[in-house]
Amino acid sequence: MGKMHLINVYSLSIIFSVTFLFIVIEMVRKNKIQERYSLLWIFMSIILIVLSSSPYFINTLADLLDIVNPPSLLFLFGLVYLLIYNLHITAVISKQAEKITRLAQELALLKQQKGNREKNV
């Protein structure tokens, strides 16, 4: 093992994930994110905090998976997570787009009906 610097990928990772968790909770508290969309982010930050808290977890995991450089497991983990979360967000957007379309259609139909009624009065 090389010498351990005070600032290394693990400590940076801890600082980052704690800050991140704090920001997420703060945003939920201020109603900027709905609870249901915050859950995955909260889980993500907790897992990151655990993984970066001690080289033990990450080293053991890396060993099991035959990964030579343990910190790259952190990156892999982050990347896969973002991929999955983006897919989730795309699904949410699609659902919303569909709802917005339906709203616009219903609104336009109602306005037409209303205009018609006023013409006939």
Partner 1 sequence: MKILTIIPAYNEEKSITSVIANVRRYVPESDILVVNDGSSDNTALYAAAANAMIINLPFNLGIGGAMQTGYMFARDNNYDIAIQVDGDGQHNPSDIQKLVKPVIDNLTDMAIGSRYISRTSYRSSYLRRIGMIFFSALVAFLTGNKVKDTTSGFRVVNRNIINYFAKNYPTDYPEVDVLVKLHKKGFRIMEIPVEMNRRQNGKSSITPFRSVYYMIKVSISILIDAIRPADSQ
Measured from the CB atom, the residue of 50 and 97 that comes closer to partner 1 is 97
Shortest reach from residue 95's CB to partner 1, in Å: 11
Q: DSSP label at 4?
A: P
Does 99 help bind partner 1 (rule: CB under 8 A)? no
Q: Which two tokens mark 24?
A: 């997420």
Tell me the H-state helices in 30-70: 35-53, 55-64
Number of residues in contact with partner 1, rule: CB under 8 A?
Answer: 11
Does 101 help bind partner 1 (rule: CB under 8 A)? yes
What contacts 33, CB < 8 A, 6 or more positions away?
24, 27, 41
Shortest reach from residue 99's CB to partner 1, in Å: 12
Does 82 help bind partner 1 (rule: CB under 8 A)? no
In angstroms, rounded to a whole number, what is the distance separating the alpha carbons of residues 21 and 42?
6
Residues in contact with partner 1 by CB under 8 A are: 97-98, 101, 104-105, 107-109, 111-112, 116
